[in-house]
Amino acid sequence: MKLHMLAHSRTGDKGDTSNISIIAYRAEDYPLLCEQLTAERVAEFFAGLRELDAPPVRRYELPSVQGLNFVLPGILRGGVTRSLALDAHGKCLGSALLDLDLITPT
Amino acid sequence: MNTLRIGSGAGYSGDRIEPAVELAEQGDLDYLVFECLAERTIALAQQVRISDPQGGYDPLLGERMHRVLPFVGRLAGRRRLRVITNMGAANPLAAAIEVRRIAAELGLGLKVVAVVGDDVLHALPGEQLLDNGQTVASLGERLISANAYLGVDGILEALRVDADVVITGRVADPSLFLAPQMFEFGWAADDWQRLGRGTLVGHLLECAGQVSGGYFADPGFKDVDDLACLGFPLAEVDADGHALITKVTGSGGRISRATCAEQLIYEVHDPAAYLTPDVTADFSQVGFVEENVDRVRIQGADGRARPEQLKVSVGYLDGWIGEGQMSYGGPGAVARAQLARDVVLKRLELMGVKMQEVRAELIGIDALHGQRSSVEPWEVRLRVAARCEERSEAVRVGNEVETLYTNGPSGGGGASKNVRQVVAVASLLLPRESVKVRIEV
């Protein structure tokens, strides 16, 4: 199952760092997200986009809103102001992450 | 005052104006706040000010004030409405003069107060390191602006002298909203829990429509009514900083637990340590309760002592970006666009165009996130962009894309090209004492 079926997302930017929220629609799905959406998995999903020497992806939990916050340093390649990217803010990153496959209990 | 009503009239400089007018007219507000400064906005405004000493404030200041000032001040049968905004950008003093002129033109007797002191361009130590590893001195002539993120102090002083309109330059976004809460309820500057709560109210409101259904819709998953007439949010706050988010009845959009949760985490790193000049806010235990349609109560914000240093945003010139685009459609569109990409890159090399970095991509295939799908689209658009030290070199990038018309693969169309100066932003930290805030009445 795609993450898109269970959660929604918004992406913010500060300097050359993006933060991506992943928020479960239903409280009962939150433990599954916590278990499967590790910082390493998110780092791997965006591997081609991040600078090779970028600091690791960090994950924060916000249980009261069934949310996870992923902080990705070095993914905006010099930041909004210098980047050559079409989406220099990285605003579209969160929507892409919703394409992740989840293993759901049958 | 039992309940304070604060509205959000803008989430960025170019934002829609009608929702702010709707709030001013029908929101029954005490304060209407316009947050209009993105990271780089002041640096761009400073460039304007260099060529026009009376300019350098928000380009929409005049239109916004013309529309909302008629509702500001003490009007019979209404709450007293005041305006707080950072639309002063690089020139709060000139912005205040312009707002006084507009108020006089409208026949309104309003007190307009400017807050200054954020501009620290001439107070930076040359040896100070920026977060990009360069020193201030190494930027030399390319340095164009340096503005400290101020907290609530200057705005509080302006409210104490009875300002109807407060115009600032760089102030931390949530501080624009925290200041009126502290002023009306008499919160102490070290009442960390209430300051943390008030900061969350500011954080949720600062991007205006982003908490009331804007930037949220995903048809079939998250549907939002009437985005064309999106209502901007307002908060109802009590003396302890307990608050709920709502909007004008009948306006478009939607306020729900989900819209609030997305905005809670927006542009936050560690939710337990959201740093502002006023407080270290803790959003990690925040939750939302839907009390009614489009009425969401906020719970669980907290705060700890404020940081010792202030963040300074430094703007500097960093060369030019030249860009060109060309579209291809129909069978074989992708193969022709790929060939076009190879041709342009080869040409840039053969012609010896001096570039620091170049990027060539196919919009519709791999421009946003690299290639993720093998489905062949009907149409695709080549985009080539490069950063160059000299403008004359950057111009050549778009020109090479344009020459694909008569020299490249078959069927290219809709060429476009542009060149823009890069105004980059870096940051550093300064001790609080070296930033002197004052008001100008």
What per-residue confidence (pLDDT) applies to A82?
83
What per-residue confidence (pLDDT) applies to B248?
98
**C-alpha to C-alpha distance for B361 and A85, rounded to whole angstroms:** 9
Of the candidates A46, A64, A84, the beta carbon closest to that of B385 is on A84
Residue A2 burial (C-beta neighbours within 10 Å; 0-12, 13-18, 19+) = exposed
B427 inside 8 A of chain A by CB: yes
- Across B297-320, average pLDDT: 96
CA distances from B417 to B321, B383, B396, B399 (A): 11, 10, 10, 7
pLDDT band, very low/low/confident/very high, at B40 (cuts 50, 70, 90): confident
Closest CA in chain A for residue B425:
A81
Please answer yes or no on whether A8 and B39 come within 8 Å at the CB atom: no
- Residue-range domains of chain A with CATH: 3-97 (3.30.70)
**C-alpha to C-alpha distance for A15 and B391, rounded to whole angstroms:** 25
What element of type H or E holds B421? Answer: strand B413-431
B191 inside 8 A of chain A by CB: no
What per-residue confidence (pLDDT) applies to B421?
94
CA distances from B76 to A55, B71, B175, B348 (A): 58, 11, 30, 68
What per-residue confidence (pLDDT) applies to A80?
76
Closest CA in chain B for residue A63:
B285
What per-residue confidence (pLDDT) applies to B189?
98
Of the candidates B263, B300, B369, the beta carbon closest to that of A49 is on B369
What element of type H or E holds B391? Answer: helix B391-402
- Across B185-202, average pLDDT: 98
What per-residue confidence (pLDDT) applies to A28?
97
**C-alpha to C-alpha distance for B57 and B150, rounded to whole angstroms:** 17
pLDDT, tens digit, 9 for 90 and up, residues A4-26 = 999 999 999 988 899 999 999 99
> What is the distance in angstroms between the Cα of A24 and the nearest Cα belonging to chain B?
9
CA distances from B91 to B7, B46, B148, B340 (A): 24, 8, 14, 46
- Chain A residues within 8 A of B357 when measuring between CB atoms: 84
The angle formed by the CA atoms of residues B124, B128 and B129, to the nearest 5 degrees, is 130
- Chain A residues within 8 A of B368 when measuring between CB atoms: 86-87, 92, 96
Count chain A–chain B contacts defined by CB atoms under 8 A: 119
- Chain B residues within 8 A of A21 when measuring between CB atoms: 261-262, 265-266
B429 inside 8 A of chain A by CB: no
Is the per-residue pLDDT at B20 higher than 80? yes
What per-residue confidence (pLDDT) applies to B436?
96
**C-alpha to C-alpha distance for B416 and B324, rounded to whole angstroms:** 6
Please answer yes or no on whether A8 and B387 come within 8 Å at the CB atom: no
pLDDT, tens digit, 9 for 90 and up, residues B371-412 = 998 899 999 999 999 999 999 999 999 999 999 999 999 999
DSSP assignments along B91-123, one per residue:
-HHHHHHHHHHHHHHTT----EEEEE--B-GGG
pLDDT, tens digit, 9 for 90 and up, residues B68-126 = 999 999 998 999 999 999 999 999 999 999 999 999 999 999 999 999 999 999 999 99
Please answer yes or no on whether A82 and B369 come within 8 Å at the CB atom: no
B372 inside 8 A of chain A by CB: yes
- Residue-range domains of chain B with CATH: 3-123+146-307 (no CATH), 317-426 (3.30.70.1150)
pLDDT band, very low/low/confident/very high, at B148 (cuts 50, 70, 90): very high
- Chain B residues within 8 A of A46 when measuring between CB atoms: 369
- Chain B residues within 8 A of A14 when measuring between CB atoms: 39, 267, 269
pLDDT band, very low/low/confident/very high, at B369 (cuts 50, 70, 90): very high
- Chain B residues within 8 A of A87 when measuring between CB atoms: 367-368
- Which of A81, A99, A100 should be substituted to probe chain B, the one whose Cβ sees the most B Cβ atoms within 10 Å? A81
What per-residue confidence (pLDDT) applies to B357?
95
What per-residue confidence (pLDDT) applies to B322?
98
β partners of residue B150? B171
pLDDT band, very low/low/confident/very high, at B349 (cuts 50, 70, 90): very high
What per-residue confidence (pLDDT) applies to A79?
74
Please answer yes or no on whether A79 and B424 come within 8 Å at the CB atom: yes
Residue A41 burial (C-beta neighbours within 10 Å; 0-12, 13-18, 19+) = middle
Please answer yes or no on whether A14 and B269 come within 8 Å at the CB atom: yes
Please answer yes or no on whether A19 and B268 come within 8 Å at the CB atom: yes
Tokens of B347: 């040409």
Half-sphere exposure (CA, 13 Å, Cβ side) for B362? Answer: 23
DSSP 8-state secondary structure symbol assigned to residue B298: E
What per-residue confidence (pLDDT) applies to A76?
87
What per-residue confidence (pLDDT) applies to A85?
92
**C-alpha to C-alpha distance for B154 and B169, rounded to whole angstroms:** 11
Is the per-residue pLDDT at B440 higher than 80? yes
DSSP 8-state secondary structure symbol assigned to residue B227: G
What is the torsion angle, in degrees rounded to the nearest 10, for the CA atoms of residue A71, residue A75, residue A78 and residue A84? -140
pLDDT band, very low/low/confident/very high, at A40 (cuts 50, 70, 90): very high
pLDDT, tens digit, 9 for 90 and up, residues A55-94 = 999 999 999 999 999 999 989 877 777 889 999 999 999 9
B122 inside 8 A of chain A by CB: no
What per-residue confidence (pLDDT) applies to A48?
86
Is the per-residue pLDDT at B155 higher than 90? yes
Residue B243 burial (C-beta neighbours within 10 Å; 0-12, 13-18, 19+) = buried
In the block, tokens 């000139």 appear at: B94
Q: Which of B228, B302, B222, B300 is nearest to B255 (CA)?
A: B222
Is the per-residue pLDDT at B176 higher than 80? yes
